[in-house]
Each structure stands twice: as C-alpha cells, then as structure tokens.
C-alpha cells in the first residue's frame, strides 16, 4: 500500500459527537482501529455504558477512548469543553426524532452545527472538521425526481415545505428532518465562507444507511429497517418505493478519509452506493435465511433516477479501506441482520 501521509498523526485525539449513535459509533471504531484516540460526546453517560463496558472496553481501559457529556447540542457553548485539545472533529450527532414541529428541530440542529464550529474556531489544535450531512440536504430521494446532484445542489423544497405544511401530520417529521439537514449544512459552509477557519472542512452526505449495528440500542434506528422487512413489518418501509443503500462502515470510512486525506478540502462527499428497493433486499434475505418465511414482494417498488458523481468517494474508500469501492449489498444485509438475530436469541 502506498504511504498515505495523513493530515494528523496517529495518536491524535478525534472528537466524535453523538458517539452512542449507529453511525458515530462506527466512525469512532474506524479511528480507534487506526491508532487514533477518540473522545465521544454523549447525552447521558449511563445510557452509553455499553461503549466502555463492551464495544470499546480495551480502548477505554488504555485511555484511548473517553466520553465528554453534552446533554443537548443546541445549548449555547455546548461543545466548548469537548473540543479542547482535539486535532479533528466529526460532528455526527443530529436531531433524528422525526418530530413534525419544525421549531423543535431546525433551529436546534443549526445552532448545534454553528456552535461546534465556533468552539473549533477558538481551539488552535483543530486541523480537520467533518460534518455528517445527508443525501436529503441535496435533494429528495423520491421516484420521478431526475436531479443531477453536484456540489451546489440543495433541497430547498424541503425547507419551504417544512415551514409551510401542517406540523400535525406525523409524516411531516421526515420533511422537517430533511430541512434540518439542509439548513445545518448550509450554515456550515456559510461559516467557512465568512470566518475562514484555520481548519479544513468537508461534509459526508449518505443515503439510507444499513449494515452492522454495534449495540442493541441501534435496533431503534435505521439499522432496524432490514429487520422490519425480515419481520414482515412493512407498513413504514412501503412508503419508500426506491432508495440508495450505503453500508454504515463505508460511511464511517469516508469520515475517516475526509479527516485524514490531504487532498480532500471543502468537499461534499456523496455516499449513495447501491440503487435498490425493498424487493431487492427481500431477495437477498431469502437467499441468506432460506428457512425463514418472508412477505411476498412489496407492490409499487421502483428505482430512483437521481444521479451524482461519487468518483471521489469511491477513490477514498479504495485509498483508506481494504476494499474495492462500496461494500456489496449482500454483505451489508448480512452484517445488519446477524448481530440482531444473535441478540434476539439471547433474550
């Protein structure tokens, strides 16, 4: 493998916000496995004990993994202490409760993004900053949308809808979430433009994330979608007739690459991976678990027509991972299901 000459040396401290989360715990794992130290922000250390008692036990024992408590990302100066002495920041935490009331989600998500940037600005040790955005910050991943997404594409429609449509419709929570990702990522780039920070900034924009959950608590997150399909619980899934599925470890590796690669600056790294729908995933499940009884194929499934250039993301996965591009969907499905089935069998 060629010499990679990372932006920050191994042993440097990396801040990962919302480290209890499905994605952030995998981001932390990537850095720890590469020889970096990780400080993870948590809302409640008690609910995060699985990280230090189990998944990152040896790293916690050696002092390579530690917590910083940040009870609410929207509190002014929430991250001021957490950023002390860190060389890089991955701001992964976001309000993902799909509350349909925009006033409960959008201003807070933006405030969190700006406040961690402001904290970083006062900390000379910070060299790299990565914001976890989403495909939905750029466009609505829905059938009939033929947008070609590039560096300057924004899902402004979601912002307008979030504030104008009925907040008493539970389905509105998805639009509000989309708008929060648009507004927070825009706030990040506005900050870069206006404040010209001493650190470099990138965003990672994943589609629907699937793959290995590190803890049972992730069964309540998107890590549960494939399990819902397995359980014949398809009412929610049927609302998305097509998607792009990306592996959680690929998303985590792109965070690592965005921090460590000297050639990546001011990028919005799209991470969409496989165009598919729930029937494609059902077909994989039937192969993997032939004894299990599955639902018939879902009606109305189709393919998305939005497109983007993922050449840089794919090159980074090759450079900073041991794989040739995206993880195959079959592997993602299996790595998503096997731990969940294992936990179920020990209940």
Ligand X SMILES: NC(=O)c1ccc[n+]([C@@H]2O[C@H](COP(=O)([O-])OP(=O)(O)OC[C@H]3O[C@@H](n4cnc5c(N)ncnc54)[C@H](OP(=O)(O)O)[C@@H]3O)[C@@H](O)[C@H]2O)c1
Q: Cite the active site residues.
A: 181
Among 208, 270, 277, 334, binds ligand X (CB under 6 A): 208
Select 18 or 173, whichever has its Cβ closest to ligand X. 18
Regarding 186 and contact with ligand X (CB under 6 A), the answer is no
Minimum distance of ligand X from residue 13's CB (angstroms): 19
Nearest residue to ligand X, scored by beta-carbon proximity? 21
| Positive or negative torsion for Cα 154, 312, 120, 89 | positive
H helices present in the chain, as ranges: 22-33, 49-50, 57-61, 106-121, 156-164, 172-195, 225-230, 248-260, 278-288, 311-320, 329-345
Minimum distance of ligand X from residue 88's CB (angstroms): 17
Minimum distance of ligand X from residue 333's CB (angstroms): 15
Select 92 or 260, whichever has its Cβ closest to ligand X. 92
Among 7, 12, 30, 94, binds ligand X (CB under 6 A): 94
Among 51, 126, 201, 209, binds ligand X (CB under 6 A): 209
Minimum distance of ligand X from residue 296's CB (angstroms): 26
Select 20 or 200, whichever has its Cβ closest to ligand X. 20
Mask: binding to ligand X, 164-183, rule CB under 6 A, as x and -? -----------------x--
Please give the backbone phi and psi of residue 242, each rounded to the nearest 5 degrees, phi first.
-160, 155
Among 88, 93, 282, 312, binds ligand X (CB under 6 A): 93
Regarding 277 and contact with ligand X (CB under 6 A), the answer is no
| Positive or negative torsion for Cα 122, 20, 313, 32 | positive
Select 6 or 138, whichever has its Cβ closest to ligand X. 138
Phi-psi region of 5 (alpha: psi -120 to 50; beta: other; left: phi over 0): left
Among 14, 38, 68, 92, binds ligand X (CB under 6 A): 92
Q: How far apart are CA 49 and CA 39, in angstroms?
A: 14
Q: Exposed, middle or buried, 12 (CB in 10 Å: 0-12/13-18/19+)?
A: buried
Q: How many residues bind ligand X (CB under 6 A)?
A: 25
Query: Is the distance from CB of 244 to CB of 305 less than 8 angstroms?
Result: no
Regarding 228 and contact with ligand X (CB under 6 A), the answer is no
Residues 6+ apart with CB under 8 A from 36: 8, 10, 11, 12, 13, 14, 64
Q: How far apart are CA 218 and CA 340, in angstroms?
A: 9
Among 235, 225, 233, CA closest to 281:
225
Regarding 134 and contact with ligand X (CB under 6 A), the answer is yes
Q: How far apart are CA 13 and CA 35, in angstroms?
A: 10
Regarding 329 and contact with ligand X (CB under 6 A), the answer is no
Among 85, 143, 197, 222, binds ligand X (CB under 6 A): 222
Q: How far apart are CA 188 and CA 177, in angstroms?
A: 17
Regarding 96 and contact with ligand X (CB under 6 A), the answer is yes
Q: How far apart are CA 82 and CA 74, in angstroms?
A: 14
Regarding 132 and contact with ligand X (CB under 6 A), the answer is yes
Residues in touch with ligand X (CB under 6 A): 18, 20-24, 43-44, 70, 72-73, 92-96, 132, 134, 181, 206, 208-209, 218, 221-222
């Amino acid at each position: 493998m060629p010499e990679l000459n990372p932006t920050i040396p191994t042993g440097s401290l990396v801040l990962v916000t919302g480290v209890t989360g499905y994605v952030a715990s995998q981001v932390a794992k990537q850095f720890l496995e590469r020889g970096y130290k990780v400080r993870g922000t948590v809302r409640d250390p008690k609910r995060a004990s699985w990280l230090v008692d189990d998944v990152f036990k040896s790293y916690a024992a050696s002092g390579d993994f530690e917590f910083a408590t940040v009870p609410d990302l929207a509190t002014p100066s929430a991250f001021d202490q957490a950023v002390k002495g860190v060389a890089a920041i991955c701001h992964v935490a976001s309000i993902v409760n799909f509350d349909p009331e925009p006033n409960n989600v959008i201003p807070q998500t933006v405030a969190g993004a700006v406040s961690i940037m402001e904290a970083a600005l006062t900390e000379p040790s910070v060299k790299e900053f990565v914001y976890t955005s989403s495909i939905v910050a750029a466009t609505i991943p829905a059938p009939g949308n033929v947008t070609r997404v590039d560096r300057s594409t924004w899902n402004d429609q979601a912002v307008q809808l979030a504030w104008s449509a009925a907040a008493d419709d539970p389905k509105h929570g998805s639009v509000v979430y989309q708008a929060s990702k648009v507004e927070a990522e825009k706030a990040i780039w506005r900050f870069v433009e206006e404040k010209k920070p001493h650190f470099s900034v990138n965003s990672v924009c994943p589609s629907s994330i699937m793959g290995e959950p590190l803890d049972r608590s992730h069964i309540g997150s998107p890590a549960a979608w494939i399990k819902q399909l397995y359980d014949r619980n398809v009412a929610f899934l049927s609302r998305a007739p097509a998607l792009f599925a990306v592996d959680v470890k690929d998303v985590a590796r792109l965070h690592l690459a965005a921090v460590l690669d000297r050639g990546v600056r001011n990028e919005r790294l799209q991470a969409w991976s496989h165009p598919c729908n729930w029937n494609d995933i059902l077909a994989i499940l039937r192969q993997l678990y032939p004894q299990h009884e599955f639902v018939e194929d879902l009606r109305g499934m189709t393919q998305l027509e939005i497109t983007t250039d993922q050449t840089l993301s794919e090159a980074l996965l090759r450079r900073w991972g041991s794989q040739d591009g995206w993880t195959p969907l079959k592997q993602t499905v299996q790595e998503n299901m096997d731990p969940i089935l294992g936990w179920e069998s020990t209940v």
